């Protein structure tokens, strides 16, 4: 076999492997509510990477797909706002972490009710929708924070990101 043929064959195998890996970890979902407005519009499609957190840590402000802590099989798209063992509080439309306000340029629709303070257990996360006045999230769930294994993936692409 010639070097050119070997290079072409190798490229085909690499592309086929990459396509298989991507197909296995990426999925598309439709946002059924306005809880993430204005970041993600109601009925917008989002691309979810189900393997992202196998190689990356969950970080504040990531948009994630999470299983409802009380209902198996029900998933939500929310933003990671608190990381255990922090204390979180929503007061007068502001989010306070350990008593200090955090900047949130994406949360243009502020919460109309106060919450907390709540201490997030270590290795767990507190999630909020960007549309704070219209989001069923950690503030209202029976179990207020979620463990990493309940996070099913990271939203990596929204309709608004597509050009």
Q: Where are the domains of the chain?
A: 26-161
The residue that leads in pLDDT, 157 or 159, is 157
Rounded Cα distance between 67 and 149, Å, is 9
Q: Kindly state the percentage of the chain with pLDDT values over 70.
A: 82
Q: What pLDDT score does 155 carry?
A: 96
Q: What pLDDT score does 160 carry?
A: 57
Q: What pLDDT score does 18 carry?
A: 39
- List the structure tokens of 67: 């299983």
In b/e form, how buried is each residue of 65-83, taking b as 16+ CB within 10 angstroms? bbbbbeeeeebbbbbbbbb
Indicate which residue of 37, 72, 78, 138 is catalytic.
78
Rounded mean pLDDT of 74-100?
95
Active site residue 35: yes
Q: What pLDDT score does 23 carry?
A: 52
Indicate which residue of 35, 135, 138, 145 is catalytic.
35
Closest CA to 66 of 118, 159, 136: 136
Q: Which CATH superfamily is domain 26-161 in?
A: Umud Fragment, subunit A (2.10.109.10)
Rounded Cα distance between 95 and 92, Å, is 9
pLDDT of 124 higher than 90: yes
The residue that leads in pLDDT, 11 or 98, is 98
Which range among 19-23, 25-29, 52-56, 92-96 shows the weakest confidence by mean pLDDT? 19-23
pLDDT of 161 higher than 80: no
Closest CA to 152 of 20, 27, 40, 39: 27
Which H/E stretch holds residue 119? strand 115-119
Rounded Cα distance between 140 and 118, Å, is 12
Active site residue 71: no
């Amino acid at each position: 076999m010639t070097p050119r043929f070997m290079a072409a064959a190798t490229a085909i195998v690499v592309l086929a492997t990459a396509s298989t890996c991507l197909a296995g970890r990426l999925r598309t979902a439709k946002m059924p509510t306005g809880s993430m407005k204005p970041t993600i519009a109601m009925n917008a499609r989002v691309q979810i990477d189900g393997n992202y957190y196998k190689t990356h840590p969950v970080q504040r402000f990531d948009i994630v797909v999470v299983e409802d802590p009380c209902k198996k099989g029900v998933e939500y798209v929310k933003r990671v706002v608190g990381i255990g063992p922090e204390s979180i509080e929503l007061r007068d439309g502001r989010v306070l972490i350990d008593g200090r306000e955090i900047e949130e340029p994406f949360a243009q629709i502020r919460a109309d009710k106060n919450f907390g303070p709540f201490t997030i257990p270590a290795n767990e996360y507190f999630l909020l929708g960007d549309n704070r006045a219209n989001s069923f999230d950690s503030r209202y769930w029976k179990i207020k924070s979620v463990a990493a294994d309940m996070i099913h993936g990271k939203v990596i692409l929204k309709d608004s990101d597509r050009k």
